[in-house]
């Protein structure tokens, strides 16, 4: 049997490996593979094939509407009229909203990437009668996910 386990990259991976070796599983039967952290830069415009779920235009749309409304109201007393001043207010509001959202998203993504740590996959080859004990050891060391695979060598 082969047991697959995923962990956050922490000291619990090492503790799990030590406990498995104490229980008679040879170090040649254990494989630990750390996963790389991918640097996912966000895109300003989403397309049909990729969307990160973050909208850049929501704040821009709100501030654009507010700017257009205020421009149209105050356009009655300003030279240029309500239509022209409304369009200028819309453009200024949209630009301001877009810049605010872009700065907030960049700051949020930096914090998120700094806090994110990698994961580790642990692959253990063991006898079928050892599987339950191996899973108990892994669960006591805060495993994220477990899977069993019956390879052809066990009959």
- Beta-bridge partner residues of 123: 4, 31
- C-alpha neighbours within 13 Å on the C-beta side of residue 50: 6
- Does the pTM surpass 0.75? The reply is no
pLDDT in tens, 35-83: 877 666 666 666 666 666 677 788 899 999 999 999 999 999 999 899 9
> Residue 56 belongs to what H/E stretch?
none
Q: What six digits make up the tokens of 79?
A: 């030279």
CATH 2.40.340.10 fits 2-35+118-154, yes or no: no
pLDDT above 60: residue 155: no
Q: What six digits make up the tokens of 81?
A: 């009229």
Domain boundaries, the chain: 2-35+118-154, 57-115
């Amino acid at each position: 049997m082969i047991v697959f386990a995923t962990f956050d990259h922490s000291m619990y991976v090492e503790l799990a490996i030590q406990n498995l070796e104490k229980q008679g599983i040879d170090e040649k039967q254990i494989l630990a593979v750390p996963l790389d952290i991918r640097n996912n830069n966000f895109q300003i415009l989403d397309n049909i094939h990729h969307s990160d779920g973050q909208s850049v235009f929501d704040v821009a749309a709100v501030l654009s509407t507010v700017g257009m409304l205020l421009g149209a109201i105050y356009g009655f007393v300003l030279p240029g009229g309500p239509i022209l001043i409304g369009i200028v207010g819309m453009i200024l509001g949209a630009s301001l909203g877009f810049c605010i959202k872009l700065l907030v998203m960049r700051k949020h993504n930096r914090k998120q990437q700094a806090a994110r740590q990698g994961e580790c996959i642990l692959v253990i080859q063991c006898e079928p009668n050892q599987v339950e004990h191996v899973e108990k050891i892994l669960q006591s060391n805060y495993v994220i996910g477990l899977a069993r695979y019956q390879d052809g060598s066990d009959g």
